[in-house]
């Protein structure tokens, strides 16, 4: 069997502002041992966490990091409770800020990465992004589940199309006045 090429482990503690000034591109893996919250949220993290990040200076001198993190986790099927493998992919678009106050000034396409000193733990940031990207519920595909679904019921729920998209829009509008 061929072994896939080994990707290097990313350094855990970095100075993200300096990397942005230098326009650094990082690709590698984040150690699972540093991601206990993710491990607790799922049955098992079954693949290494691959990360690629571009640190750069964006509009108005804003220091940003963009890229992605991906792995595969085992989660319990919500029908039969047996494990199911779910790929997880987080798209990362972060503005590096000193404080919550500064975070409010970020443009809409950026989420804040609050780094209040010179150094930051990159595994915490990657773990946060992956936790946000976890599916809320997972089901085996029809025919592979350990619970047999009566066919009439299976058809109704197969594409999840029961929710009226306009009612979701309505909810978004009504809850949009928070900040």
CA separation for the pair 45, 117 (Å, rounded): 30
Instruction: Give the containing element (helix H, strand E) for 156.
Output: helix 151-157
CA separation for the pair 77, 79 (Å, rounded): 5
Selected from 77, 92, 120, 125, the binder of Zn ion by CB under 5 A is: 77
130 class by beta-carbon count within 10 Å (0-12 exposed, 13-18 middle, 19+ buried): buried
Window contacting Zn ion (CB under 5 A); options: 86-94, 102-110, 137-145, 169-177: 137-145
Residue 158 to residues 2, 101, 146, 155, Cα–Cα distance (Å): 38, 44, 16, 5
Selected from 103, 133, 140, 149, the binder of Zn ion by CB under 5 A is: 140
Count, residues near Zn ion per rule CB under 5 A:
5
Question: In this structure, are strands 83-97 and 111-114 parallel, antiparallel, or unpaired?
Answer: parallel
Instruction: Give the containing element (helix H, strand E) for 13.
Output: strand 13-14
Is 17 or 79 the residue whose CB approaches Zn ion more closely?
79
Is 80 or 134 the residue whose CB approaches Zn ion more closely?
80
Determine the residue with CB nearest Zn ion: 77
Rule CB under 5 A: say whether 115 interacts with Zn ion: no
Mask for 36-75, x = binds Zn ion (CB under 5 A): ----------------------------------------
- Find out whether 73 and 134 touch, Cβ atoms under 8 Å: yes
Selected from 41, 58, 80, 149, the binder of Zn ion by CB under 5 A is: 80
Selected from 32, 43, 76, 145, the binder of Zn ion by CB under 5 A is: 145
- Shortest distance (Å) from residue 149 CB to Zn ion: 9
* Chain contacts with Zn ion (rule: CB under 5 A): 77, 79-80, 140, 145
């Amino acid at each position: 069997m061929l072994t896939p090429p080994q990707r290097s482990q990313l350094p855990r503690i970095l100075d993200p502002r300096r990397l942005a000034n230098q326009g650094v591109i990082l690709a590698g893996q984040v150690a699972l041992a540093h991601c206990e919250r993710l491990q607790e949220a799922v049955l098992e993290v079954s693949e290494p966490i691959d990360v690629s990040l571009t640190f750069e200076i964006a509009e108005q001198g804003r220091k940003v990091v963009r890229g992605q993190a991906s792995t595969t986790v085992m989660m319990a099927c919500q029908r039969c409770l047996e494990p199911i493998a779910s790929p997880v992919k987080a798209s990362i678009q972060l503005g590096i800020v000193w404080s919550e106050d500064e975070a409010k000034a970020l443009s809409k396409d950026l989420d804040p990465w609050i780094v209040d000193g010179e150094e930051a733990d990159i595994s915490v940031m990657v773990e946060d992004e992956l936790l946000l990207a976890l599916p809320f519920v997972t089901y085996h595909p029809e025919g592979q589940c350990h619970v047999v679904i009566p066919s009439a019921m299976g058809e109704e729920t197969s594409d999840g199309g029961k929710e009226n998209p306009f009612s979701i829009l309505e909810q978004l509008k009504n809850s949009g006045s928070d900040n």
